[in-house]
């Protein structure tokens, strides 16, 4: 299993200048190749990677683009390969048409293959550089492995990172267990488990909201343009955003790793976060909770460790269905946090939802796709709508 190990590093002035030139050249080559392919497509012609690679050789020989020869050629070739992958996804209707890279908005990154770097004794040296990078090794690289690719990037806060793609033999199926858990996502509590445990929502963005608002007001008072003062204020805002993002990601990693290690099967609800964000009263809190990121972490970690993630259809009435007798209640607004069923059972809304998700997930995984519960039509007749309760992750 290949994994990326990401570390922060602190370049010298010379290294920072070289990497900044490389980022600019990568962006330029990507945009030139995208423009060439787009123009060819308008003429009902197709241009592939090999043709853009030949174009790159010709561009380097011109006076206008001769500076492309000053940086390593490998990141430039990798940019063309990334463009080829983007068009492959576009033609397969898995993604939108590739867009041009912006100097201010696009991510600064450059990818080096094995021929463009040297990794020996924990020291990484890139092509066109004499000295190795000053990397903070926050965790060890798998012993005895050699990186296949190295990606250098700089975020909007000005921090430098290097990512090493290595083969990790430690990733493999965990010992099987019979434990299964249903997970209900929320805002008051980030997760509610079918065991009754509730995991608090840290609300990372709310904790730094005052600092962020102050920094944004300071940035808004700066004159527009590329001035040094505006750039300094922009970096201060970016650092606060980076702090929020890092803390949120760290918390989600710890939480998802715990769930995957403790349970063989995890049942979650298939929420459409994009649609939920249209509620302007809750959009900020939903974005801060990062439900989509949490689900993606659960899914790829489950694949790593031989676990199973089951997703239940978003229309399944998990909150309104009594987990004791199975009766379906009427309307239940969000402010109703506890309710009592006709059978006399008092439910916590979130715990009841998690238990229902677990029950239907385990049932459908054994018996196949299920259907929605019976609902009464205005004429009094019941209908059984054939809609799958499960979806593949």
SS (HEC) of 131-144: CCCCEECCCCCCCC
Confidence of residue 364 (pLDDT cuts 50, 70, 90): low
Q: At what angle do helices 73-91 and 13-42 cross, to 10 degrees?
A: 40
Half-sphere exposure of 55 (CA within 13 A, CB side): 18
The pTM for the full model equals: 0.83
Please check the confidence at residue 381 and state whether its pLDDT lies above 50. no
Please check the confidence at residue 373 and state whether its pLDDT lies above 50. no
Give the pairing type, strands 265-269 and 180-185.
Answer: parallel
Please check the confidence at residue 108 and state whether its pLDDT lies above 50. yes
295 has which bridge partners? none
d(CA 293, CA 298): 9
Kindly give the residue spans of alpha helices, DSSP state H, lying in 43-184.
49-60, 73-91
Please check the confidence at residue 229 and state whether its pLDDT lies above 80. yes
Amino acid 366: pLDDT: 60
pLDDT digits (tens, 9 = 90+) for 128-139: 999 999 999 999
Please check the confidence at residue 144 and state whether its pLDDT lies above 80. yes
Amino acid 372: pLDDT: 40
- Concerning whether 270 is annotated as a catalytic residue, the answer is no
Pick the range with the lowest mean pLDDT from 143-152, 288-297, 333-342: 333-342
Amino acid 285: pLDDT: 92
Most confident among 28-32, 195-199, 352-356 (mean pLDDT): 28-32
- List the structure tokens of 331: 């309307």
Average pLDDT over residues 76-80: 97
pLDDT > 70: percent of the chain? 92
Which is more confidently placed, 391 or 109?
A: 109
Please check the confidence at residue 392 and state whether its pLDDT lies above 70. no
- Could you tell me which of 326, 317, 350 has the C-alpha nearest to residue 196? 350
d(CA 177, CA 162): 37
Q: One of 184, 205, 288, 299 is an active-site residue; which one?
A: 184
Amino acid 367: pLDDT: 56
Q: At what angle do helices 228-262 and 291-305 cross, to 10 degrees?
A: 50
- Concerning whether 269 is annotated as a catalytic residue, the answer is yes
Amino acid 92: pLDDT: 93
Q: At what angle do helices 228-262 and 209-220 cross, to 10 degrees?
A: 150
d(CA 391, CA 138): 38
Please check the confidence at residue 109 and state whether its pLDDT lies above 50. yes
Q: One of 18, 111, 205, 269 is an active-site residue; which one?
A: 269
Amino acid 136: pLDDT: 96
- Could you tell me which of 102, 138, 106 has the C-alpha nearest to residue 7? 138
Which is more confidently placed, 210 or 391?
A: 210
Half-sphere exposure of 188 (CA within 13 A, CB side): 9
Strand, coil or helix: what is 375? strand
Average pLDDT over residues 283-312: 92
Confidence of residue 88 (pLDDT cuts 50, 70, 90): very high
pLDDT digits (tens, 9 = 90+) for 41-64: 899 888 999 999 999 999 999 999
Q: What are the backbone angles phi and psi of residue 167, rounded to the nearest 5°?
A: -80, 125
Confidence of residue 388 (pLDDT cuts 50, 70, 90): very low
Amino acid 1: pLDDT: 84
Q: C-alpha distances in angstroms, 108 versus 86, 111, 175, 186?
A: 17, 11, 41, 35
d(CA 361, CA 389): 8
Residue 233 · residue 222 · CB < 8 Å:
yes
Please check the confidence at residue 393 and state whether its pLDDT lies above 50. no
Which is more confidently placed, 168 or 26?
A: 26
Query: Where is 153: in which H helix or E strand?
Result: strand 149-154
110 has which bridge partners? 152
Confidence of residue 383 (pLDDT cuts 50, 70, 90): very low
d(CA 77, CA 334): 53
Average pLDDT over residues 2-11: 94
- Concerning whether 350 is annotated as a catalytic residue, the answer is yes
């Amino acid at each position: 299993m290949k994994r990326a190990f990401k570390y922060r590093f602190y370049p010298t002035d010379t290294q920072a200048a070289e990497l900044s030139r490389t980022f600019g050249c990568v962006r330029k080559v990507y945009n030139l190749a995208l423009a060439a392919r787009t123009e060819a497509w308008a003429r009902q012609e197709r241009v592939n990677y090999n043709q853009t690679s030949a174009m790159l050789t010709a561009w380097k020989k011109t006076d206008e683009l001769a500076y492309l020869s000053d940086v390593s050629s490998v990141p430039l070739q990798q940019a063309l390969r990334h463009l080829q992958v983007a068009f492959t996804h576009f033609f397969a209707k898995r993604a939108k048409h590739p867009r041009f890279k912006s100097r201010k908005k696009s991510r600064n990154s450059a990818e080096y293959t094995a021929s463009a770097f040297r990794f020996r004794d924990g020291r990484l040296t890139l092509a066109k550089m004499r000295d190795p990078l000053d990397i903070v090794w926050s965790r060890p690289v798998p012993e005895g492995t050699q990186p296949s690719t190295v990606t250098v990037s700089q975020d909007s806060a000005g921090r430098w990172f290097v990512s090493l793609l290595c083969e990790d033999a430690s990733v493999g199926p965990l010992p099987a267990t019979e434990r299964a858990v249903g997970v209900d996502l929320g805002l008051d509590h980030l997760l509610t488990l079918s065991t009754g445990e509730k995991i608090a929502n840290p609300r990372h963005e709310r904790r730094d909201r005052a600092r962020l608002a102050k920094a944004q007001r300071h940035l808004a008072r700066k004159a527009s343009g590329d001035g040094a003062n505006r750039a300094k204020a922009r970096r201060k805002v970016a650092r606060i955003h980076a702090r929020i993002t890092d803390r949120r990601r760290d918390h989600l990693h710890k939480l998802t790793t715990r769930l995957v290690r403790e349970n063989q099967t995890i049942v979650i609800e298939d929420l459409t976060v994009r649609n939920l964000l249209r509620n302007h009263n809750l959009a900020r809190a939903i974005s801060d909770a990062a439900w989509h990121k949490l689900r993606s972490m659960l899914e790829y970690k489950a694949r790593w460790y031989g676990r199973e993630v089951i997703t239940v259809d978003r229309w399944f009435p998990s909150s309104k269905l009594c987990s004791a007798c199975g009766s379906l209640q009427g309307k239940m607004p969000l402010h109703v946090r506890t309710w009592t069923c006709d059978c006399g059972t008092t439910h916590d809304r979130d715990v009841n939802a998690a238990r229902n998700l677990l029950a239907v997930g385990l049932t459908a995984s054994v018996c196949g796709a299920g259907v929605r519960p019976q609902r009464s039509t205005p004429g009094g007749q019941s209908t059984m709508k054939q809609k799958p309760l499960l979806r593949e992750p």
